[in-house]
Amino acid sequence: MAFSSKSKVMAFIKETSEGVIVDPTAASFSVVREGSALVGAVETTSSDELRNSIGASKSFVTKEAPTGSVSRYIKTSGIEGVAPEDAILYEAALGGQEIHATEVVTAAGSTAGDSSNRAILKVADGDILAGELKVGQAVLIKDGANGYAVRPIYAIDSAASPDEVTLGFNLGVAPASGVGLGKAVFWNTADDSQPTFSAHEFQSSSANSAYHLTHGGCRTNSVAMDFPANDLATVAFEIGGINFGENQISIGANNKYIDFTDSSGTVAAIIDEGRYQTPIHLADAISAKMLAASAASAGDNISCSFDSSTGKFNIASDGTVLSLLWNTGANTANSIGASIGFLVAADDTAALTYDSDNALSYGPAVTPSYDDSQPSVVKDNMLILGDFDDYICFGGQAFNITIGTPKTDVPNWCAESGVDESAILSREVSITGTLKFKRHDADRTYKMLKNQTVSLAFVTGRKIGGNWEPGTVQCNYCPEVSITTKNIIDSDGYIVEEFAGTAIVGTAGLQDVYITQL
């Protein structure tokens, strides 16, 4: 029987302890695109024993090294100040996430900036110390004169009176007093302590799902955001974990007992609590525990197996009696029976082998819920590129920001998977773009040759009546970008400019990249 890949659902949920898999909630599911997948990979080593043959010797699994690719359209939650469903994938890459759900408004005295001075927003004393405004974060300046302009924050000054917020790029006009600055979901950069997450993939969201894949201890190794003109903005995440399983079964305090009667009496097997990587792993554990419990009394040879064709468990004995006391045992409230497909309303008696009544189900235990938002179309978007007084949209056809955050696994022979933790090694932000060619514009060539940098912000989202619509906007801000290449080329008969650069940690104390949704 073939199974459709169109019905696939995936979930990502922040972990408390690295590698300890967390089951998904309804809100942790994320709409993904075709090609998204989790891959349960391992690393191996080969024996070099000489066996009087030039053939290969056996290879041995040394550690689990699962990977995954997650492709999505760039979307907000649809509500300003509320994190989107894929928030943990961004947070795991950059390291910090802040929800700024209280809207700050401007005070009197804001400036638009000029060729010598940056734009400054005045806000009430105490607003900066309240933590709703941070360096690198973008604000949505809700005045029609500026078209609800989106601007990143270059610096903040709580010592000024009133507080001052210096913008990364200037404005057309100075905002009046009382203008709202939006509510933000802000991904800030951190050099360590990036969170890990559990990743789940189900073939379907129904009980008839063909499989359930799980990865633990996941980190985001790469974020690639693409903005092609007149198309949908996309983001691709590459992830890597430290352990994985297929159709895992969790055993805890409420489902770890098997009460049974063997040839000499009634005993209880207690299955070790934990997450079993496959049903076969659990069957092996049940066999060992039932055999040990029986050996203390009758010594019957009791076994448990999982049938990969039917999806059912079988429990069998070579003794003279085997009764599974699902309904009348001493521990029925905490029985494993339902978890492995047995109906527990009645005991299983009068035989020496029993198959579970139901095949295992691999669908989510909850009904997935998703953000009520639409993908961002790359038109009427905005690229700001240059110095702080270059705040007019720079036209173009394609734009990409890729944030690379490779990790290393820390080996540990005490860990079942061979690894119990990992660490992100570095962060590199690369930028490419195909821009509209301007006849006299040599600015990027000049800056490249003079080792100067440019500032960059790409804003995507929807507009209504020329104003950015709150709850739909994403701003990607790189305060300093070092241009590495710049070419004038032919593109289907017209001239364009291609450029590439690397975002760097700046001299003003700003990090290399910030992402804000407003």
Query: Lowest mean pLDDT: which of 55-64, 199-208, 312-321?
Result: 55-64
- 43 or 382: whose pLDDT is higher? 382
Residue 450 pLDDT:
60
Residue 402 pLDDT:
97
Distance (Å, whole) CA 67 – CA 242: 9
Distance (Å, whole) CA 99 – CA 278: 38
Cβ proximity of 151 and 138 under 8 Å: yes
Length of the chain counted residue by residue? 518
| Token pair of 154 as six digits | 């270059």
Residue 68 pLDDT:
97
| Token pair of 220 as six digits | 């985001």
pTM for this entry? 0.93
When the pLDDT of each residue in the chain is averaged and rounded to a whole number, the result is 92
Cβ proximity of 84 and 372 under 8 Å: no
Cβ proximity of 357 and 345 under 8 Å: no
Query: Lowest mean pLDDT: which of 17-31, 186-200, 292-306?
Result: 292-306
Residue 295 has pLDDT above 80, yes or no: no
How far apart, in Å, are the Cα atoms of 416 and each of 244, 272, 433, 510?
A: 11, 15, 45, 41
Distance (Å, whole) CA 477 – CA 414: 42
Residue 448 pLDDT:
66
Span 386-403, pLDDT tens digits: 888 888 888 889 999 999
Residue 110 has pLDDT above 70, yes or no: yes
Span 130-176, pLDDT tens digits: 999 999 999 999 999 999 999 999 999 999 999 999 999 999 999 99
Classified as helix, coil or strand, 96 is strand
Residue 499 pLDDT:
86
Residue 449 pLDDT:
63
Span 462-505, pLDDT tens digits: 999 999 999 999 999 999 999 888 788 787 788 888 889 999 99
% the chain with pLDDT above 90 = 75
Residue 446 has pLDDT above 80, yes or no: no
